[in-house]
């Protein structure tokens, strides 16, 4: 949610209540495996996730879409996964995981609860987007 122009950050940052989980976001911290233990190419999977979230989920037409972000995104994600020749099992997993990542970021249970127009008008705050409340006082 960022640091600049973020009122909550301004209120709590002097008290060291926030930490960052940016280190966990780095691609070398992720491993993608199927239920048999076979590993997928991490850089390919991360590229698909980043492309889906940056270009497909919040694409140019979102502000003109009359419906939810979920309705807007589902077909676009399907097309992206097909165009990348993604393994069917991995495709199913990404259809679950990618919306889950955005739900956590948007504080919602479902992308179908987010209006497309309102989401297209959201302005994020600059700075660390991975701030979280610390557990106790040590983080």
pLDDT of residue 31: 84
Residue with tokens 């991490």: 42
Q: 20: which strand partners?
A: 131
pLDDT of 35 over the 70 cut: yes
Q: Please, what is the Cα angle at 11 between 8 and 16, to 5 degrees?
A: 100
Following DSSP, what letter does each residue of the chain receive, concatenated? Answer: --STT-HHHHHHGGGT-EEE-HHHHSGGG---B-TT-PBP-HHHHHHHHHHIIIIITT-GGGGG-SSBHHHHHHHHHHHHHHHTT--HHHHHHHHHHHHHHHHHHHT-S-GGGSBHHHHHT--PPSS-TTEEEPSTTT-
Note if the pTM is more than 0.85.
no
Work out the mean pLDDT of the chain and round it to a whole number. 84
CA distance linking residue 6 with residue 65, whole number of Å: 28
pLDDT: which is higher, 13 or 81: 81
pLDDT of 132 over the 80 cut: no
pLDDT of residue 139: 47
pLDDT of residue 27: 56
Per-residue pLDDT tens for 61-119? 888 889 999 999 999 999 999 999 998 989 999 999 999 988 887 888 999 998 887 78
What is the residue extent of each domain of the chain?
A: 36-125
Residue with tokens 């991975």: 130
Residue with tokens 């077909």: 75
Q: Name every residue whose Cβ is closer than 8 Å to that of residue 108 and which is 6 or more positions away in sequence.
A: 114
Greatest mean pLDDT range, 25-34, 52-61, 106-115: 106-115
């Amino acid at each position: 949610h960022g640091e600049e122009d973020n009122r909550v950050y301004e209120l709590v940052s002097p008290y060291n209540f926030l930490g960052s989980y940016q280190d966990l976001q780095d691609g070398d911290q992720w491993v993608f495996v199927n239920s048999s233990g076979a590993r997928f190419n991490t850089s390919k999977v991360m590229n698909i996730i980043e492309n889906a979230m940056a270009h497909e989920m919040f694409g140019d037409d979102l502000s003109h879409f009359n419906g939810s972000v979920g309705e807007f995104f589902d077909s676009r994600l399907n097309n992206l996964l097909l165009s990348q020749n993604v393994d069917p099992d991995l495709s199913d997993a990404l259809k679950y995981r990618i919306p889950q990542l955005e739900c956590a970021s948007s504080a919602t249970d479902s992308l179908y609860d987010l209006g497309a127009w309102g989401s297209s008008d959201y302005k994020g705050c600059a700075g660390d987007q991975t701030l979280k409340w610390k557990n106790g006082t040590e983080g």
